[in-house]
Chain A
Amino acid sequence: MFREPRAAIVFLAPALILLGLFRVLPAAVSVGESLMGLATPPTAASEAIGASINAGVGAAAGGPTRAFVGFSNYRHLFTSDPVFWGSARVTLAYSALASPVTVAVALGLAFLLKGSDRRRSLLRTACFLPSAISMSVVAVVWGLMLDPYYGLVNSLLRAIGLPPQPFLNSPRQALACLIAIAVWRNSGYWMMFFLAGMQGIPREAYEAAALDGASKSKQAWHITIPLLARTVSFVLVSNTAFNFLTFAPVFILTKGGPIRSTNVLVYESYKSAFIGLDMGRATAISSLVLAAVLLLSLAELRLTRPKHEY
């Protein structure tokens, strides 16, 4: 495969080691943890803890004993956990809307803003800027602007004679607001990938089409879009994974509410781990999210496999 396998390994090693240490290993630990649960009857456990404190061992016992419980955490999720199912629906709705809309907006922006004149490059920078701001800052600022009582957006709505909206306070609008914030923040970023992809398309294709009398829109439809398939595929897959793992805006703006309307799986897993102190359920959820992202990515890669190579 490699002409110099040793050199390849040496060059890849740092990235592989870091990937293994910070991505693969935690994922594996999490999957392992999802097969663990509470075992001994807690009365006995609390006595054991009392004894261990007396012996000076302290937190070593740290709560009821854990043991291997097989797939019972998963069984519970699938058979008798309506909160999990609600959360799964919210996550799917979020991804199913946020990902295609982001890709469409990013592609649209790329078409509008390709080219090298000054005005376009200024606009490109403006579109890219939101993605350079930390998601936490974005969330806080949008939270202020969307405040139902004193926010800027409602002031604007009132100024043009429209009724004020509850936005993040409404179980029907909150998820849509989060999607809009995600699209606003991420479209400029993915636009850059499309612009890069467009630059990779050979000029000759356009010249030949122009000679044959194809209009600009025909060229876009028959040349640019088919030849961008590889980029679209990459952006769609990355963006779907990214949206599936959304946490910060939910944590900062809605805490999963109102009435669980924005309770995405990653946030539910976080709550389960650090508030419910139920690591088994938390890691089972995160393992399922991991599996879902893998499956979705494979499906998207297959569906968007490019028909044309160049």
Chain B
Amino acid sequence: MSVAAHSVERARPEITGEIDKAGYVLVAFFAIPFFLFNILPVLFGFYVAFTRWSIVGAPKWEGLNNFTRAFNDHWVAVAFKNILFYGVIIVPSVTVLGLVFALFVNKRYPLSGLARTLFFAPTVVSATVIGLVWVWLLDTQFGLVNHYLSFFGIDDVPWLTSTRWSLVGVSIASIWWDLGLAFVLFLAALQDIPGEINDAAIVDGANRWQRFRYVILPHLRPVISMVVTLQLISTLRIFSQVYVMTNGGPAGSSSSPIHYIYSIAIVRNLFGYASAIAILLFALILAVTFAQRFLLKERA
């Protein structure tokens, strides 16, 4: 061992047992409820996934039956396929629009404060309210969206009533709702970029696009990674909008895994089967998150 390392070790403060105990007590205020109400139910959920259980009575061990059933369940496949489409529509839209809006109000100009508030406002409204409002806006016959589209000669679009459009309709509401958070994160990151770097790029003759592409965007990469991760997880768990706007229909075309889990657990009381599907969703979220983090890190 080197002398330097030795001296560092000697410089460590002595930790007494009493301090340790006090720490445990302080941590316990959080740790015990967290263990009881977060960790334990998750562990219990894993156990229940291998059983047949409807709250009353003992869970009956079923081995992998619930998982086999899930893999053979047409509606599980539909829900997981839908979630990929939701991801493809919502994640890039929220990321790009969030960035565009943030760039738009990054500089101070008259009413930019109001614009910031307006862009963020949907985020503070509950998903249920968002869903109800968008049901009205997207109504096929008397919705505002179709009304305005008709000015351009576009025929009524059945946003929520056709198997072709329902997923898009729910996605539009979700994008509007989720945009605020991405917008704030990007705005905060933009404000953190030192003005000198931009000034130097201007002096070097970089045009607006070049400044964005080679100066601003590299600085935003960690935030982009975070926004994409958060948005991906949020989209994989999409529920409220689906429940309020289409109830997963028509023909399951807008359903999501969480919506299906809800209907299996709360409506049908098949908690074992619902837990098995939840575990599959958990595995998917984990895999997608790792893959996405890896890819963005590699590119960075």
Q: Do A and B come from one complex?
A: no
| A positions within 8 Å CB-CB of B | none
| B positions within 8 Å CB-CB of A | none
